Structure 1
Amino acid sequence: MLSEKSAMTVRATLPTVGAAIGTITERFYERLFAAHPALLRDLFNRGNQAAGLQKQALAGSIAAFATYLVDHPDERPDAMLGRIAHKHASLGVTADQYKIVHEHLFAAIAEVLGEDATPEVTDAWDEVYWLMANALIAIEDRLYAERGVLAGDVWRAWTVAVRTEETADCATFRLRPADGAPAPAFKPGQYVSVQVELADGARQIRQYSLSSAPGAELRSITVKRVTGEPDGEVSGHLHAHLRAGDALRVSAPYGDLVLDADDAPLLLASAGIGCTPMVSMLERLAATGHRSPVTVVHADRSPAAHPLRADHMALTARLPDAEAHFWYEDPEPGHPAGRTGLVDLATVPVASGTRAYLCGPLPFMRAVRTQLLAKGVAAADIHYEVFGPDLWLARD
């Protein structure tokens, strides 16, 4: 709980700090990486840093947390904290790194705000920071304990058993622990971090959803090669170099978008490579004989570009009360005309009490969420996963 004095100061300075938060976080990362270049080389996503996405996510999370504290003084934004903590745990973040972040963040605040950074102001925002940091540290410690790993020591050697080309730019890698020990359990919808050593010596990390069934002998990740400005360093490396028999460093599974498969009707909506956690969820539903209604929605460029399309269709067909609705920008002949272009749920029945899971680009998820709310789905029943920095800030 934020102290009354600090709450007043934070409320009064939110407009000033909020207006400058983008500049503050930019200066923070400049200072942080100048002092600790290994963090950029081996922990932070260099692509997201180059695109400015990580800066936006950090700025948004700080502003959202502070706003929540002053608007709800007796509560915490646990959904947002839990999402961040799962991502941190998958990266092996440790408590001592929060002290490093604090040092450079508050130096950046003082530099950017200048005379406005009075002792009263910095003390109040210091309280906000440590409330957030200590909450994250506590959640991350619990997550490490649940996985039976030491704080930060999440990595394990795995071996590629099979590589399958799914589409022109997507490949599935089926993995097994290199030591022959059992693979750790996971929940449908969770992800793992993958760490690779690149040509320049950097050990970059990315998260990939597990696309296999939780009880399967092998663990599968389906990776889309990222192209653009910049190209994906890790996805490109995996596509170019990873073959059957090769070794890979993989984290314990984490993630807060997990299937709660009770008797509620379900809607699983995805776009592009966002289908991977949905396929894992469908695997579990089919394996457990789920009988409640399941609506599957997916959007893609074309049937040929749709990763795991055969699995998506076959698993839906195995459920007794399920329908799949696929939208394609460039459909094949005979595809329903109403399923061309962007997802439009106007003609898709959505049962009362539906619980929805969304994964895909942010514009897609925002559009689907808006349509689901209009159809009467409760906001608390719409859950989502973001591939990359969470700029949506756990709206569920």
Structure 2
Amino acid sequence: MYRLVYLALAALAVVALLLSFFDLVGPDPFPLVATLAVLSAVCVGVDAAAQRVLNLPWRLESSLITAHILLFVLRPTIDLVGLAGIALAAAVASLSKYALAWRGRHIFNPAAVGATVLTLLSLVWPALGASSWWVGTPALAAPVILFGLAVLLRTEKVRVVAVFLVVAVAVAVIRVAAQYQAAGVEIDGLEVFWQVLWSSPFLFLGAFMLSEPLTLPPRRWQQFLVAAVVGVLAGWPIPIGEITLGQERALLIGNLVAFAFAVRTAVRLTLISRGDPTPSVRELTFRVHDRLSFVPGQYLELEVPHRHPDARGTRREFSIASAPADLPLLKVAFKEGSSTKPQSSYKKALAEVGVGGELAITGVWGDFLLPKRAAAPILMVAAGIGVTPFVSQLAQLRRSGDERDIVLVYVASDAAELAYRDDIEASGARVVVFTRDRPADLPAHWQWARGVRLDADGLVQVVPDISSRHAYISGPAGLIAELAPALERARSITTDAFSGY
């Protein structure tokens, strides 16, 4: 994600530079280049020094992302005093990642912190400059949408940012209409709408700042609420003295709301054992040293610091395979990749972590949660290692004595790849197994779907009452698409697609 966001922002900076030669954006070419050079040098320098002192892995992309966001938020200049203000904002932004943090996780969007501090200082020393959000111009609207969508699709935050945009634009249009009415001026509502949408910084704020996963709460409804709060404050800035609660200050308040929802901590772990549930599945069991709270079905982000990480970075997401009742023990499992494909630097580093090695969880997220109503019949469809969130859910139900009507359709390449058989059997759930060969010693409530093709018709054949069930499917996106026609008959569908680690 760091690499993708950086490349998107760098491409946007190139577009802005080209447009500046034709006076289609506010800044001129030379101030743009000079400002980006100062921002990059300061952000990289401060981050490198802080991470060296704190013995943290250095992420060049993180520094450059902060620099590029500030480029579009602050007012580019070649004035020496103005560049000093630019440098100050960059230093504050980078330092906020470590100073304004809670047990390893920053609370606020760093660029928003830097821009806010510079704006406040400009009230005393105007020559330092302030935030200007010059990115909010019609000429940059299309590039922001294009590059922003690339980021939002990857982070799966399109709907969250859409909520923000709808609220922010609607509130801004109402605000402008109220001002025109108070002045006795006629207003063209459609014209105001397009002007607000294309000429405001809302698109950039949503795509590249609000969408930051590290400052959003874990649950989708919480993310929607934060998006709405930021949208209201950005759309109708509240005046506070000589400044307003607009744009970056609106985002900072949203960050506080998100922080109130989530325990934003880096949870320390110690690896206590490795296991092989199947020939191709590896299991890691950790002991948790800090407070950790999760709901069965959620996933964690595990950081494995290592030298020279590749483009995919040092973090990966894993569904939690153990139940909350198992804490302080925590389990994750993953499928070993093919020997014919090159291994990622992350996979190699994780393989080298020995028993007793210490790692950290950077967060817990997800809405792959069972219905709260105990009487709701459930269909679980798991492909391979996609069974892990269901293992957590079934184990927690068994521990709590919560009996539910559950059917698990378990898909694996062959019988030897059926992981967690004992845990699933202990839950008492009815299981339909799709494998090429017949599994040995199937429990009484397990069924081998011999001769049934795993497609929409086959799923209905083995689960004829699918229309009465809430469907949950965890596995590759291709399988989800294949079964979509049958799953659409269910009362609801919740998916958990993954692409490996």
**Pairwise mapping of residues 164-243 of structure 1 onto structure 2 (< 5 A)?**
164-178=275-289, 181=290, 183-200=291-308, 204-217=314-327, 218-227=329-338, 231-238=343-350, 240-243=351-354
8 A Cα contact 1:295 1:324, kept in partner: yes
Write the distance in 2 (CA, Å) between the matches of 1:226 and 1:44. Answer: 27
- Given candidates 450, 454, 458, the residue that maps to 1:337 is 450
Asked if the contact 2:460–2:466 (Cα under 8 Å) also holds between the matched residues in 1, the reply is no
Alignment-derived partner of residue 349 in structure 1: 464
Report the structure number with the largest CA radius of gyration: 2
Q: 2:261 aligns with which of 119, 135, 146?
A: 146
Aligned to 1:281: 393
Change (3 A) 1:92 1:271: farther
Gaps in structure 2 of 5+ consecutive residues = 15-35, 49-56, 63-103, 115-131, 145-193, 211-225, 231-250, 441-447
2:402 to 279, 286, 290: 290
**Does the aligned pair in 1 maintain the 2:391–2:423 contact within 8 Å?**
yes
Question: Counterpart of 1:326 in structure 2: which amino acid?
Answer: V
Q: Is the CA contact (8 Å cut-off) linking 2:135 and 2:201 kept in structure 1?
A: no
Tell me the amino acid that sits aligned with residue 385 of structure 1.
D
- The answer (yes or no) to whether the contact 1:211–1:280 under 8 Å persists in 2 is yes
Measured in 2, the distance between the counterparts of 1:255 and 1:279 equals 16
Structure 1 unmatched runs, 5+: 1-22, 46-89, 390-396
| Contact 2:301-2:317 within 8 A present in 1 as well | yes
User: Offset at 1:304?
Assistant: 2.0
| Distance change (3 Å), C-alpha of 1:257 and 1:285 | same
The CA deviation at 1:193 is 0.9
Residue 452 (structure 2) pairs with residue 361 (structure 1): no
In structure 1, the partner of 2:109 is 95
Shift of residue 200 of structure 1? 1.7
Structure 1 residues 338 and 148: alpha-carbon distance in aligned structure 2, compared to 1, 3 A threshold: same
CA apart distance, 1:126 = 2.8
Q: List per-residue Cα deviations over 1:162-191 (Å, max 9, x = no partner).
A: 21112233211111124xx5x412100111
Distance 1:148 1:111, change over 3 A: closer
Output the CA distance in 2 between the equivalents of 1:172 and 1:104.
Answer: 50
Q: Which residue of the partner structure matches residue 356 of structure 2?
A: 245
Q: Give, in whole Å, the separation in 2 of the partners of 1:143 and 1:106.
A: 25
Instruction: Call closer, same or farther: CA 1:291–1:44 in 2, change over 3 Å.
Output: farther
Q: 1:342 to 1:349 in 2, by over 3 A?
A: closer
Q: Secondary structure at the match of 1:231?
A: coil
Residue 220 of structure 2 aligns with which residue? Answer: none
Q: Percent identity?
A: 20
Q: Deviation per CA, 1:322-359: give whole Å up to 9, x if none.
A: 3111212x324785423465573121133554222221
- Following superposition, the deviation at residue 276 of structure 1 comes to 0.9
Q: What is aligned with 1:48?
A: none
Aligned equivalents of 1:146 and 1:308: distance in 2?
Answer: 33
Report matched runs for 1:109-128 at 5 Å. 110=140, 123-124=198-199, 126-128=201-203
In structure 1, the partner of 2:368 is 257
Change (3 A) 1:325 1:301: same
CA shift for structure 1 position 212: 0.3
CA distance in 1, matches of 2:394, 2:494: 16
The answer as to whether partners of 2:133 and 2:201 remain within 8 angstroms in 1 is: no
**Distance change >3 Å, CA 257–CA 161, structure 1 → 2:** same
Offset from partner CA, 1:213-265 (integer Å, 9 cap, x none)? 11113111112234476534323432x21232111111342212222342100
Given residue 194 of structure 1, which amino acid in structure 2 is its aligned partner?
A: L
Residue type at the aligned position of 2:437? P
- Give yes or no for contact 1:193–1:250 (8 Å, CA) kept in 2: yes
- What is the Cα deviation at residue 123 of structure 1? 3.5
Contact residue 309 and residue 346 of structure 2 kept, 8 A: no
Aligned length: 300
* Distance in 1 of aligned mates of 2:367 and 2:469: 19
Q: Deviations over 1:97-121 (max 9, x none)?
A: 5799x989989x749869xxxx959
Change (3 A) 1:177 1:351: same
Structure 2 vs 1, CA of residues 164 and 351 (structure 1 numbering), >3 Å: closer, same or farther?
A: same
User: 1:27-53: CA deviations, max 9, x gaps?
Assistant: 5365689958889974989xxxxxxxx
SS in 2 for 1:145: helix
Q: Which residue of 2 aligns with 1:49?
A: none
2:330, 2:134 → 1: CA distance?
39
Say whether the 8 Å CA contact 1:268–1:294 is kept in structure 2. yes
| Displacement of 1:382 | 1.0
CA distance in structure 2 between the aligned counterparts of 1:106 and 1:225, rounded to whole angstroms: 46
Task: Report SS of the residue matched to 1:215.
Answer: helix
Q: Which amino acid aligns with 2:316?
A: R
What is aligned with 1:303?
A: 415
Q: 1:156 to 1:292 in 2, by over 3 A?
A: closer
CA–CA distance in 2 between the matches of 1:339 and 1:95? 51
**1:80 matched residue in structure 2:** none
Matches of 1:91 and 1:104 in 2, distance apart? 30
* 3-state SS of 1:197 partner: coil
Scaled by the length of structure 1, the TM-score of the pair is 0.62
The question of whether the paired residues in 2 share the 8 Å contact of 1:211 and 1:277 is answered with: yes
Q: Is the contact between residue 6 and residue 61 of structure 2 (CA under 8 Å) also seen in structure 1?
A: no
